[in-house]
Amino acid sequence: MWKSFGASVIGPGHIVTGKPNQDSWASFHHIWGDGIVVSDGLGSKALSDFGSKAACRAVETAARLFASATAAGTRPNLLEDIRNGWLESIAPLDPKDAYATCIFAFHVGDGIVRLGLLGDGCAAVVTEDGTVKSLSDDKTVGFSNLTNALTPATSEAQWSLLEVPESECEAVVLCTDGVSDDLHDVDGFMTGFVAAHRGLARATAAREALTMLEDWPVPKHSDDKTIAVLLREVVSDE
């Protein structure tokens, strides 16, 4: 079985300017599957907080469609479904006012944990043997000030994807760039964070994650900060 928790805090810069938290996160647990998603609305967009919330809704809807198709033996276009779901969710807003990044992880009972990353941030799988497999936006390619995001023209080529056997996955950690940009040792942070929170109740883990973000050790970092975790729990037969 799987459990999840997460936390999000508004950045000091947005508090000063009176802007809302432009990050969002969500988790879903259904008979057909479990997943988490985080999204960061682009700061230059007036309604980016709506865009990030729409991204979270779009991923859950697309994952449900993916689960139904997988059960029927067909293969839908997951990334296209996410983009189209985002467009439907923000309507009648102008998409140009609500661009948002999108990072997700889910499984639908076929033995695979699927991860996707569009834009800034990080997605990491902590495996049973303690190794870390991760996705992050490569700022060494092209212009570092350009961020991939959900737009009407988003293409599959802009996404980074990863599939990991469910049996190897201990946990998945997703975070927006307000967290990932400050990580000098991504693998160490991910393994330590999972180890520290794995045995906690969901509410306790979420509370401690929130405290960590509120006490983030880079005080001048103005960005919103969001983290979400999906944990696999092995249920004893006894």
117 in a domain, yes or no?
yes
Q: Does residue 228 belong to any structural domain of this protein?
A: yes
For residue 175, being part of any structural domain is answered with yes
Which CATH number is 113's domain given? Answer: 3.60.40.10
Contact 93, 123 (CB under 8 A): no
For 8-23, write each residue's pLDDT tens digit: 999 888 888 888 999 9
Rounded to two decimals, the pTM is 0.94
Which tens digits make up the pLDDT trace of 38-88?
A: 999 997 778 999 999 999 999 999 999 999 999 999 988 999 999 999 999
* Strand, helix or coil for residue 96: helix
Domain count, the chain: 1
Residue 135 belongs to what domain range? Answer: 2-232
Determine the average pLDDT of the residues in 200-219. 93
Per-residue pLDDT band for 30 (boundaries 50, 70, 90) equals very high
Domain assignment of residue 238, yes or no: no
What per-residue confidence (pLDDT) applies to 16?
82
24-45 burial code (b ≥16 CB/10 A, e <16) = bbbbbeeebbbbbbbbbbbbeb
Is residue 114 domain-resident? yes
In a domain, 237, yes or no: no
